[in-house]
Amino acid sequence: MTEASAGLGTGRASVGAVLDFAWTAGEFTASEVMASTSLTRSTAIDAIDTLVSAQVLRELANARAAGSYRSGRPARRFVLSADLGVVIGVDAGDMHVAVTVADPIDRVLVHHRTDLDPTQSASARRATILERMTAALREAEVAPEDVLAVCAGVAAPVNRDGISPPHPDGFWERTNPDLAEALHGWAPIVEVKNDAQLAAVAEGSHGAAIGCRDYVALVSGERFGGGVVVDGHVLHGAHGGVGEGIVFDHIIGVGSAFGLTYALPEQVRSAADAGEIDPESAMGRLARSAHIDPRTVLTAAAAGDADALLVSARVGETLARIVGVLGSMYDPARVIVCGAVAESIEPVLAAARKVLPEQLHLPAPQILASTLGAEVVSVGAVTTARRAARERAVPMLAERRLSAAG
């Protein structure tokens, strides 16, 4: 039972215990509450009735009314109310914004993803994010007062108040354009988080780290950044900078925090310039293109193209150095490569696994590809918003309704 829902203003821990049980129970009876919480029947029924009066639980038709009655006294059945409200998850990346409106249990109502101009000013970016959130709520046909919690992920370190430190080039101020202030008043609970930390939340709840207590979610698209989980806890730091990618600028053989979206095209051109790729081969022709799609290189490598395999091996060596540093610093059991590029990244991971043991003295972590694709940060944002709704916003809502009825 969470501390926030312990009493719901009633002074009775039993009310919070029943609410905590109800989140994952679906339809349930008082007997099922008793079995899960060790409450007595009278205490369980009293707590259930309290939550029904707060309109947080809804009583269903009993077995006789539902047509499944056999014999004996039909049990009362309950379920969480369907109209508690919604949560909003926002993935505000460097070049995109994704907004998800979802119920607090398991259903997504609206999801939009929009490309952003990376040269957009902080004020214009903030306005765009708020406009996309407003549009998503409108499409979901949800009133603003029904938003329980908002969680926004940004490509910047974020302290516990949602504020990013200054960046020498102003990058963090632009990618987190004072969202904590801009979102104030949107919901009882508003959280702004680093995107890699939200990716770690997503992998632990829905992805490749389920059941794992020590792992790193390595966001690897436009820039590298790590969401670090040790002993089951997402590490944060004084400024939210645990796993910040600037460290990779100083690692020999890496030299940059730019992610795989940039590393793969760069290696194609570098190999072509060095004469390692036949100019008339598929990779040679690709090297002369103005834009090189990393997925084209990875698809060719998976099909056995020798030039693409050469490029993948070079990038794999770089990735192994990055994972080696993370492995030495945090001792994870797994490092999960996240982002849109992860769906076809296996040739790079295979190369990295071969050389990784040389990079550290500890046992090498598994290197895995995320299955959550480009929406990994959105998944983490919604998961975090739902947790905030369950642990804080809905108990606050119940308290207000009970006070009003009292």
Domains of the chain: 13-82 (1.10.10.10), 86-206+376-392 (3.30.420.40), 215-371 (3.30.420.40)
Q: Is the pTM of this model over 0.75?
A: yes
**pLDDT computed for residue 401 by the predictor:** 87
C-beta contacts of 31-39 below 8 A and 24+ residues apart: 31/75, 39/14
Strands (E), 238-327: none
What is the amino acid identity at position 125?
R
Nearest one of 49, 24, 29, 39 to 398, comparing CA atoms: 49
* Residue 4, CB-side half-sphere exposure with 13 Å CA sphere: 14
Nearest one of 295, 260, 339 to 98, comparing CA atoms: 339
Burial of 275 (0-12, 13-18, 19+ CB in 10 A): exposed
Give the span between the Cα atoms of 310 and 351, in whole angstroms: 10
**pLDDT computed for residue 1 by the predictor:** 47
**pLDDT computed for residue 280 by the predictor:** 93
Structure tokens at 188: 């009882």
**pLDDT computed for residue 63 by the predictor:** 55
Residues of the chain scoring pLDDT < 70: 1-11, 62-73, 406
Burial of 4 (0-12, 13-18, 19+ CB in 10 A): middle
Give the span between the Cα atoms of 175 and 156, in whole angstroms: 7
